[in-house]
Structure 1
Amino acid sequence: MLAIRQVSSLESDPDFENERHFEPGEDVLKRVWHGLTYDFKRWKRRYKEARYDAFRRRNPIAHMKHAVLDNELFPFRTEVLIIGGGLTGSSTAYWIKQRFRDEDFKVTVVENNDKFAESSTMLSCGGITQQFCVPEHIEMSMFTTEFLRHAGEHLRILDNDPPDIHFLPMGYMHLACTPEDAERMRNNWKLQV
């Protein structure tokens, strides 16, 4: 219900800039008039935003956002919509785009920037472990570790320097309290290597 309400509010948003008012072949003067008034409103809004932009950057908490999204950058049509741009959402978007290299295949990630600093991606300690007893989980952890070791090359854009994600592999130490736990850990270790 929440998603339906948000979509309907998006469609009724008067600032939404991807809407199309006229079909080809209609009254040319009305279309020109609409385009000019539309451009004037957009210039006015951009001027107002640019005027207060410096003060808003210095005091981000003092000013609530007027609109939830940037109307000019939000796509009108997308094949895949991912809600949440944390580790899971960003990874999902990356691998979908790797799978479908077509430029017309659009993947959109929606993230609430106000809450990103409080998200689990930012607050977690970032531990990766292969200490599982299910083979699929072990393979996923090994793949993730290998990807992060070479993430700079995977995420490099054209001829730019590769980004440094500050990946620092470290180990875990597990202690067994009973001989049964020690045997179980030994069996899991054999499965993991």
Structure 2
Amino acid sequence: MILNVIFLFFVVYLLIQAIIEKRPPYKKMRRSIGFRGGKIIYIDKQQEVKEKGVTYGKLLKSDKYGLSGKPDYIYQLGEELVPIELKSSEADDSPYYKDVMQLVAYFLIIEDVYNKKVRRGRIVYRNTMFEVYNKKYLKKELLNLVDKMKKMKQGNYFPEIKPSFALCRFCPCRGTVCEIYNDASK
């Protein structure tokens, strides 16, 4: 009897875990940029009038991951740091893959530079906003992409795809280390 109860709890636990893992790493939200009670600590633009305690337009570099970037904003909510990336395009039911990978790169950069774990970030499109959560598999996916980009740059990796607008349009390698789409469009 006790074994049946333990087995039942174990099965329920596995089902809940499977449901959690299948949820997307983002949540669609009503569009807004700031946070109530939040404080801006970083802005990616120069200002004529500067606020004390805010970093303006500095390139953030992570030596640990070999990444650098400039998120549009970083808010501080208590001890939590939240990067925000503004986009001029519109999105439908999910954020674009390249934008999610860009935000995940900011998670890693901020964790290295500020020495604080980042739990979430936001991508704000013209028509909607997504809160993206810092998941291990997203970090792994980004580091895999970075590794492939390094190999492409060194000439040690050549993806086996034919260039096409549909495939290359949102690829994070387009216009950086990949010349495939650019060569085909000439």
Higher helix proportion = 1
Q: TM-score range by the shorter chain?
A: under 0.3
Higher strand proportion = 2
What TM-score, normalized to structure 2? 0.24
What TM-score, normalized to structure 1? 0.23
Larger Rg: 1
